[in-house]
Amino acid sequence: MLDSLKKLFGPKSTNHEANKKHSVNELHLASSVILIEAARMDDNIDNHEYASIIDLIRSRFDLSEEEVISVVELAEQVAENAVEISKFTSLIRDQFDHEERIEMIEMLWHVVYADGKVHDHESNLLRRVSGLLYVSDRESGEARKRVVSNSQPSM
């Protein structure tokens, strides 16, 4: 896992093909870092947000409980020291097809809504990440609506 982190932040190879290939662990980490960033936007990661991140990463990448905990804990450390998110979003953009990038935005909306309220900074992050992932405002809005409608209690 630490080797993946070093590769993610280390110098890039001059070989263009080598730059395009990323390990799945790097993709797990990049996705987790962005989810952690969404949870941190209101200055507090509560238990609901943390549980949501764990569930989303586990189901999206089909990881074991131990793998998920390891990736998310590492992502917390990386997010704490990250200056910008573009390195993570570019990896996701390069590795995910368009539908998967929309799914990533939907995952972010799940985290944002996990504590029951949307903070302005969280909305701002979603707009920025959507743009960096080439997901339109309309597609992000539709993802948001799906999250809201799925979280509504049934009557």
Q: How many domains does the chain have?
A: 1
127 located within any domain: yes
Q: What is the pLDDT of residues 83-131, one digit of tens each?
A: 899 999 999 999 999 999 999 999 999 999 998 889 899 999 999 999 9
Best CA proximity match to 125, nearest among 149, 144, 151: 144
How far is residue 110's CA from residue 113's CA, in Å, rounded to a whole number? Answer: 5
19 located within any domain: yes
Q: What is the pLDDT of residues 4-44, one digit of tens each?
A: 444 444 433 333 333 334 456 899 999 999 999 999 998 88
**Residue 16 structural domain:** 2-149
In the chain, the amino acid numbered 7 is K
139 located within any domain: yes
Q: What is the pLDDT of residues 51-87, one digit of tens each?
A: 999 999 999 999 999 999 999 999 999 998 888 999 9
Best CA proximity match to 109, nearest among 3, 43, 12, 34: 34
Where residue 61 sits, what CATH number does that domain have?
A: 1.10.3680.10
